[in-house]
Amino acid sequence: MGLLENLEQRLDQIVNGSFSKAFKSEVQPVELGAALQQEIDNRADNINGQTVVPNIFIVELGPVDHERLSTYFNTLSIELGTLANSYTNEQRYTAVDLAHITFDLDQSLETGVFRIRSAAASRPVDVVVAASEFQNSTPQMPEAAFAAVATPYLTSVTGEEFRITKSVTSVGRGIEADIQIDDTSVSRLHCSIVLGSEVLIRDLDSTNGTIVDGNRASESVLYDGSIIKIGNITFTYMSK
C-alpha cells in the first residue's frame, strides 16, 4: 500500500469517516498529502551531491476549508509530517530537519483552493521562500501552479539582478547552476544560497573561493547589503 493510501486510511479511522462525508468540492486531506509530495519533488535541489528538499511547510486555506478542517489540524500536522518524512526517506532526499506542518488562513483563497509554502530550515521560520497553489475543481488529484513569492536577489555592479526563488539556490558557471555566471574565474558550481531562519551562503569547494564582506568564507550569514565576491565577480545581496 502506498504512502497516500496509508495516510487516507489512518485519517479515515481517526475521524470515523467524517472526511469522506463532509468534503466534496472542498479541500480533502488526502489531496494535501499528494500536494505535499509534489511540493517536495518540485523544490528538490542538487547541492554538492545531495538532493536537498524543504522540511518546513505552511498550508494556506480559504475561509470555508480552514473552518471545516480546523478541528483536525493537530492530527493533520502529525500525519502529514509523517508522510513528508517517509517520502523524503523513500526518495533518498536530504532534509535539514524533520518535517514541520502548520496551517494558516488566507481570506483570498476560494473553496477548494489551497497553497503550500515551503522552506528548508532547522526549525520553523517566519520567512518562507516559495509557494505552490492547488485547486480541487474535481475529486481528482490537483495540479500545481508554482508562483515565487520571495524577493531576495543578488545585484551586480552593472545593475543586473538575479532573483533567489528556491530554498537552496546554486550559483556557478555551469549549466546546472540556478544562477549562471559567464566568467572563467567562477567554478561550475561555485556556491549556494540557503534561505531559512537565516540566509546562508556556502562555498561549494570552488577554485577561487567565496568572499563575503571582505572575508573568505566556507559558510557565512548574509544580511541585507552584504557584498559577495565570487571569483572576480562582485554582487550585493538584497533581502527584498
Computed over every residue of the chain, the mean pLDDT equals 79
The whole-number pLDDT of residue 197 equals: 67
pLDDT band at 154 (very low <50, low <70, confident <90, very high): very high
pLDDT band at 127 (very low <50, low <70, confident <90, very high): very low
Instruction: Decide which of 217 and 147 is more confident.
Output: 217
Q: What are phi and psi of 201, to 5 degrees?
A: -120, 135
Instruction: Decide which of 196 and 99 is more confident.
Output: 99
pLDDT (tens digit, 9 = 90+) per residue, 161-190?
A: 898 877 788 899 998 888 999 999 999 999
Residues 58-69 have a mean pLDDT of 90
The whole-number pLDDT of residue 7 equals: 59
Joined together, the cell numbers standing for residue 177 give: 547552476
The whole-number pLDDT of residue 112 equals: 85
pLDDT (tens digit, 9 = 90+) per residue, 106-126?
A: 888 888 888 888 888 755 444
pLDDT > 80? residue 139: no
Query: 140-165: buried (b, 16+ CB within 10 Å) or exposed (e) per residue?
Result: eebebeeeeebebbbeeeeeeebebb
What separation in angstroms does the CA of 148 have from each of 41, 118, 130, 157, 188? 16, 11, 5, 25, 25
Instruction: Decide which of 133 and 63 is more confident.
Output: 63
Cα–Cα dist 214/118, whole Å:
32
Is 88 strand, coil or helix?
Answer: helix
Cα–Cα dist 76/205, whole Å:
41
pLDDT > 80? residue 134: no
pTM for this entry: 0.51
